Structure 1
């Protein structure tokens, strides 16, 4: 019987760039057959005739089953596992399962099932989890090394999704949960006056659930990393207090939507640590697992001590479709931040309506609050074109047509006209920048990013 031990079937990660997708597919299928035989692979291997057409045909239109969404840049620096395909040893060790799977001259009918022995081998199981984690951290350059429009490019992207599914399945075992989490360290350059020290952040990236697509916030995404870089480099631009000077006696109020791992809120708290009075920063999300991981990350970066008994960031649940009205949402926010938060056609409308209720309104002396939104442009896959939907929601109305009727009409009193003006106010793009994709950041389906400043009109 051919060995299915992970140490035998998983290709060396150190030579991943030269490994074809078919070999990785076979390795993942081997893992699945051993540990999760009932889990179905989402990968379709094309035939010689019309490979791209075959790939597209494998995805049934109307199938709304949530697929695993991967951040694509898990950065755990695992050791290079340069094991040979034919070797059965790692660091001089031979696993119990491999011994059991070696052919023997005579096997008793009542001998233990080799697959059961393999599943129970803690060393092999740990190796499989470590390999999958390392594969995630190296997948981006592996995918980028081939034409993304080719059958091989499509296959490699699907294999990344498949690896995440298997890794998430391993996470279903409480004994292995900690092994599949990634602790990631970030160092962001700053340009603030009188300080050249980088902003250091440590985050826990947990596996995305294979069954619940709303748990994507368990990982740090490319948009969030690029946005955080900008907050550090140009704090005065992106976190500038929009209020008139005479109204700055109260703390600046900052809200993060879809905070996920909490990167933006943590960065904001660090770069504004010297502000007096200290800002009130509220990080929000919806999924319970995401909120738990968010709190964990904040506690890691801001441990409470006798000298610092309070945390600069508060965590709350926020439903965009039906936002809360109790504290801290009973008062408007001066700045709202969001990075890569749209994964469904309805999200853009929900976010617009939610921000409309929570962002500081304009006054006679102020233009109101600012909403910064950083979003990935996905060129294919189930999230293709969502950036265009966001553009449609927040686009500035034409000089004629939609804008007609905003001005005070004939016969209206000044008070009535002002009330109508308040009702007709809308959130629109005041600027939008196209940001190029950077090597090593972002997943395969991201062609670039849009960074938008949204205010009241």
Structure 2
């Protein structure tokens, strides 16, 4: 049964039976997947008319990662002045009841799971597929849909969890694609506690730079030296100013996928409310109550290292958007000098805000690390390379202009 033009029907009445997969056509399967994308992924995944797309174009579409999740400051919501009747008559108004129907969602999940199970047979290939590429396309789309259905974001914009109390803030999910992997990395965070005692504490919010860095890490781990050959089987990673823990939690999932099973990720911050929320987020992303990520209090100005920070030097340090005052760059230098292992790398992604009260700090990193590098003492930290990264549309606050990525290390 097919819907009126542009209006997919509920999954229970439109998805074809998979009992005899060989009797289905390739076009019918792609059409069914398109309808599910239109219902459950209206923003993040475009509808794809695969029967009208050439193989090279189809592959390029499939290899596109899903759009980055907005940091929450530029997210657009419908105007309160929109007419309710117009919304009901629109395609989105038609799909809204289907999208929120748990029976329909459960049916779609079961159908997709069965499709993956049936379509995964490689020898012989099911007769409904004209090529190995078409078979792989179905598997990839079905996997993407399963991720979306099991981790729902109904309209492409993260909203507060209705089951959470108001003082608990709201839970958000961030998804990052990996090349040649069907299942992306997904991190769930309690982001922006409404009941925090100090509402100005920046560590209670996920900022654009951390989202940008997570995407880069997942797209190209080797660019950052995140390989077993470079870091060994049991590296120690430290994040400075971890905030909500997005980068650390992303790395906690990324390393095992790269064959690095014994990684230890220490997410550090200073403010008590940030540490409490960080521990909560680590628990929310743990598997069977365990996680390679642990939270630790770290004061950049304190020379005393406690807890996991005093055990082993860091093979890699990561910090995103942590320079908010003229003295922060110097404090970062002193802290990184104490905890970075010989041969280790410090990745610093700085957000440049050319307008506003933080604009004066945009150039504070290079002078500090440059001046220290002129010292005659061996082993001083210095900037090994830097590059400018343009701001991504829809990610981060409006006052963010661009980013600078610094690779920092010691003289050989």
- TM bin, normalised by shorter chain, reads 0.5 to 0.7
- Corresponding residue to 2:170 among 182, 199, 204: 182
CA distance in 2, matches of 1:287, 1:230: 28
From the superposition, tell whether residues 350 and 356 of structure 1 become closer, same or farther in structure 2 (CA, over 3 Å). same
Segments of 5+ residues of structure 1 without an aligned counterpart are 1-70, 85-136, 139-174, 362-367, 407-422
Correspondences of 1:63-74 after superposition (within 5 Å): 73-74=72-73
CA distance in 2, matches of 1:259, 1:439: 23
From the superposition, tell whether residues 77 and 301 of structure 1 become closer, same or farther in structure 2 (CA, over 3 Å). farther
**8 A Cα contact 2:177 2:183, kept in partner:** yes
Aligned to 1:410: none
From the superposition, tell whether residues 187 and 204 of structure 1 become closer, same or farther in structure 2 (CA, over 3 Å). same
Give the deviation of 1:214 after TM superposition: 6.6
CA distance in 2, matches of 1:329, 1:318: 8
CA distance in 2, matches of 1:455, 1:209: 40
Cα deviations across residues 87-117 of structure 1 (Å, max 9, x unaligned)? xxxxxxxxxxxxxxxxxxxxxxxxxxxxxxx
**Does 2:308 align with 1:328?**
yes
From the superposition, tell whether residues 438 and 211 of structure 1 become closer, same or farther in structure 2 (CA, over 3 Å). same
- Corresponding residue to 2:252 among 257, 269, 289: 269
Aligned to 1:218: 204
Aligned to 2:240: 257
Counterpart secondary structure, 2:324:
coil
**Does 2:291 align with 1:311?**
yes
Correspondences of 1:84-233 after superposition (within 5 Å): 176-178=166-168, 181-191=169-179, 195-207=181-193, 212=198, 215-233=201-219
TM-score, length-scaled by structure 1: 0.52
From the superposition, tell whether residues 259 and 387 of structure 1 become closer, same or farther in structure 2 (CA, over 3 Å). same
From the superposition, tell whether residues 428 and 379 of structure 1 become closer, same or farther in structure 2 (CA, over 3 Å). same
**Does 2:353 align with 1:353?**
no
Larger Rg over CA atoms:
1
Aligned to 2:352: 377
CA distance in 2, matches of 1:210, 1:203: 15
CA distance in 1, matches of 2:250, 2:74: 19
**8 A Cα contact 1:377 1:385, kept in partner:** no
**8 A Cα contact 2:237 2:266, kept in partner:** yes
- Corresponding residue to 2:366 among 373, 383, 391: 391
- Quote the RMSD (CA, aligned, Å): 3.0
Give the deviation of 1:444 after TM superposition: 2.0
Counterpart secondary structure, 2:346:
strand
**8 A Cα contact 2:301 2:331, kept in partner:** yes
**8 A Cα contact 1:241 1:334, kept in partner:** no
CA distance in 1, matches of 2:348, 2:78: 36
**8 A Cα contact 1:433 1:452, kept in partner:** yes
Give the deviation of 1:310 after TM superposition: 2.3
Counterpart secondary structure, 2:276:
helix
CA distance in 1, matches of 2:324, 2:307: 27
TM-score, length-scaled by structure 2: 0.57
Give the deviation of 1:439 after TM superposition: 1.1
Aligned to 1:22: none
From the superposition, tell whether residues 184 and 241 of structure 1 become closer, same or farther in structure 2 (CA, over 3 Å). same
Give the deviation of 1:236 after TM superposition: 2.0
CA distance in 2, matches of 1:310, 1:72: 27
From the superposition, tell whether residues 340 and 280 of structure 1 become closer, same or farther in structure 2 (CA, over 3 Å). same
Counterpart secondary structure, 2:387:
strand
Counterpart secondary structure, 1:272:
helix
Aligned to 2:99: none
Segments of 5+ residues of structure 2 without an aligned counterpart are 1-69, 84-156, 159-164
From the superposition, tell whether residues 326 and 241 of structure 1 become closer, same or farther in structure 2 (CA, over 3 Å). farther
Give the deviation of 1:324 after TM superposition: 3.3
**8 A Cα contact 1:231 1:239, kept in partner:** no
Counterpart secondary structure, 1:344:
coil
**Does 2:290 align with 1:282?**
no
CA distance in 1, matches of 2:199, 2:407: 27
Cα deviations across residues 38-73 of structure 1 (Å, max 9, x unaligned)? xxxxxxxxxxxxxxxxxxxxxxxxxxxxxxxxx963
